[in-house]
Amino acid sequence: MKRGLWLILLLGFSALSFAPERAKADLDYLVGIGPRVAGSPAAAQAAEYLAQQARAAGYVTEFQSFSYTRSRDTGSSLSLGESRLEAFALSGSPGGSFEAVLQAVPGIGAAGDYDNLDVQGKIVVVRRGGIPFLEKARQAAARGALAIVVVNNEPGGVRGTYGATGPIPGVTVAGRDGEGLFARSGERVRLVVGSVLEQAQARNVIARRADSQAPGVVVGGHYDSVPGAPGANDNASGTVTALELARTLRSESWARDVWFVWFDGEEDGLWGSRNFVQAYPEWVRGLRAMINLDMVGVRASSALGIGGNPALLELLERSGVQFNDIGNSGGSDHTPFAQAGVPVLFFHWGIDPNYHQPTDTVADPQVMAETAGVVRLVLERILGR
Ligand code: BES
Ligand code: ZN
């Protein structure tokens, strides 16, 4: 046989199955860039890489640009006497520098925790948990508090969000730092909340076949990550799983209308997926499914977690796929699609200990390959291979 023919056969076959070594190279590249915070040069580099890889795999690519306002913490702290605790501004918090009396509020800072307390003009300290940060801030603000400090319910720190513009400045402190605060009610403290508002310029990456006019199914995941975390499992894992799936599906005739979308701005509040849904209502109306891959590279639980549309879940069950039905968890890019009436499936392997940490540096291509196998099966069933 001629050498050229061998080469074509070889390429043809190698393109058919998920190649863990290719996924590993993609992972290494993305993680090597560092944290892919929306709007940063690192995120731009990641987007270029995805587009270029998708084009090399035979897809037509396009960037969908959008912008939004977010708050960023330039450095926050709580000082009492000689000691200075590191604090983390709640996303959406107003910024500023305050000196006032500290007031311990027993419990989690719900309405009933304020009985017989005067918090007017004071900085309140409450425990994390039970109700959202925003609700804690509202309770404190309604009683005239100046600012709120939320002590984490675990020894380490946590970056939280108001999910909106908060009524008063708010920060979290690590559990191990903050527990002592409850005994220091009445002392004067200095709180610095380094929260600033900025515009983020973000981009989704869309890949489709040249012969596809509209998406039948969107397969995607967010490629951005939180500040300080290289985002290997969250979510280079889902990003790369989608990319390698794209390579393997390129030459399948039944997969013509599978479009791949890598979302930006997820970590700031699902901005990329919301923008896609808003910008392309006609495409969204025509979708038979949206498949979201988020945290699919670390086996953090005993089985693959899948949530979403009951009919699609039943189809998976009938096909003999082993998975945990994780119900309707909202915190990722399938949500805007589900809200628009699209049948969604959300794939993830659970929360690993490195979630949103600088140590989120590993994802296992074998776990991703396993996940991709299930995604492929769903696609084949939906699109009638
Ligand atoms: N990857 C997470 C969501 C997630 C959590 C997937 C657990 C799988 C298991 C995502 O990037 C994230 O952190 N989402 C935020 C909410 C979002 C609206 C900012 C969250 O879950 O807190
Ligand atoms: Zn994520």
Residue nearest to ligand 1 atom 16, measured at CA = 331
Q: Which residues line ligand 1 (CB under 6 A)?
A: 234-235, 266-267, 269-270, 294-295, 331-332, 348, 351
Domain residue spans in the chain? 3-69+199-383, 75-193
What class does CATH assign to 75-193?
alpha beta
Tell me which residue of 243, 221, 245 sits closest to 233, measured CA to CA: 221
Alpha carbons 79 and 61: distance in angstroms, whole number: 51
Cα(224) to ligand 2 centroid in Å equals: 8
Cα(343) to ligand 2 centroid in Å equals: 20
Nearest-ligand number for the alpha carbon of 307: 1
Cα(222) to ligand 2 centroid in Å equals: 7
Q: Looking at domain 3-69+199-383, what is its CATH homologous superfamily?
A: Zn peptidases (3.40.630.10)
Alpha-carbon dihedral angle through residues 331, 332, 334, 340, given to the nearest 10 degrees: 60
Mutate to test the pocket of ligand 1, among 90, 223, 226, 234 (most ligand atoms within 8 A of CB): 234
Cα(274) to ligand 1 centroid in Å equals: 15
Alpha carbons 364 and 232: distance in angstroms, whole number: 9
* Tokens standing for residue 358: 């600088």
User: Which regions of the chain are under pLDDT 50?
Assistant: 1-2, 5, 8-9, 11-14
pLDDT at residue 329 in the model: 81
Mutate to test the pocket of ligand 1, among 267, 324, 351 (most ligand atoms within 8 A of CB): 267
Residue nearest to ligand 1 atom 18, measured at CA = 269
pLDDT at residue 3 in the model: 52
The CA distances from residue 3 to 290, 324, 366, in Å, are: 41, 47, 32
Q: What pTM was estimated for this model as a whole? A: 0.85
Residues 6+ apart with CB under 8 A from 115: none
Q: Residue 99: beta bridge partners?
A: 190
Alpha carbons 124 and 102: distance in angstroms, whole number: 6
Per-residue model confidence as pLDDT tens digits over 290-321: 999 999 999 999 999 999 999 999 999 999 99
Cα(267) to ligand 2 centroid in Å equals: 7
Extended strands (E) in 42-107: 60-73, 76-80, 83-89, 96-104
pLDDT at residue 1 in the model: 45
